[in-house]
Amino acid sequence: MKRILPTILLLLGALPLQAQLYHPGEVLEYRVSYRAKMFPNTEVGAVSVATTQEGSGDTLRYKVVGKGRTLPTYRWFYNIDDTYTVWVDPATLRPQRFESDIRESDYTFRSAYDYRWADSVVHTRWSSRQRPEQQRTMRLTDETMDAIALFFSLRTAEADTFREGEPATLRMVLQDTIRDLQYRYLGREQKKIRNMGRFATLKFECQLGTTEGFSFTDGTVFTIWISDDRNKIPLWIESPVRVGSINAYISGYRGLKYPMESLMK
Is the pLDDT reported for residue 172 higher than 60? yes
Share of the chain above pLDDT 70, in %: 77
In a domain, 135, yes or no: yes
CA distance 228 to 200: 5
Answer yes or no: is pLDDT of 47 > 70.
yes
Residue 97, by phi and psi: left (phi above 0), alpha (psi -120 to 50) or beta?
A: beta
d(CA 178, CA 209): 10
For residue 176, what are the domain limits?
4-255
In a domain, 265, yes or no: no
In a domain, 264, yes or no: no
Cα gap 72→76, rounded to integer Å: 8
Calculate the average pLDDT of the chain: 79
Is the pLDDT score of 39 beyond 70?
no
- In this model, does residue 118 exceed pLDDT 90? yes
pLDDT reading at 179 higher than 80: no
Mean pLDDT of 76-86: 83
Residue 213 β-bridge partners:
210
Q: Buried b / exposed e across 245-263, counting CB within 10 Å, b at 16+?
A: ebbbbbbebeebeeeeebe
On whether residue 213 sits in a domain, the answer given is: yes
What secondary structure does DSSP assign to 112-146, as a single string?
A: EEEEETTTTEEEEEEEESSS--EEEEEE--TTEE-
- 113 is a domain residue: yes
Q: Is 29's pLDDT higher than 50? A: yes
* Domain count of the fold of the chain: 1
Query: Is 209 or 137 the better-scoring residue by pLDDT?
Result: 137
Within-domain flag for 260: no
SS3 12: helix
pLDDT digits (tens, 9 = 90+) for 204-225: 887 766 544 433 334 467 788 9
Contact, 181 vs 172, CB < 8 A? yes
Q: Residue 11 is inside which H or E element, if any?
A: helix 4-13
Domain presence at residue 176: yes
- d(C-alpha 67, C-alpha 95), whole Å: 18
- Coil, strand or helix at 5: helix
Confidence of residue 57 (pLDDT cuts 50, 70, 90): confident
More confident position, 70 or 29: 29
pLDDT of the residue at 219: 44
Residue 136 lies inside a defined structural domain of this protein: yes
Q: What is the pLDDT of residue 149?
A: 57
Lowest-pLDDT choice from 59-73, 101-115, 179-193, 233-247: 233-247
CATH number of residue 221's parent domain: 2.40.360
The pTM for the full model equals 0.83
Q: What confidence score (pLDDT) does residue 45 get?
A: 87
**What confidence tier does 136 reach under pLDDT thresholds 50, 70, 90?**
very high
Q: Is residue 208 within 8 Å of residue 6, measured between CB atoms?
A: no
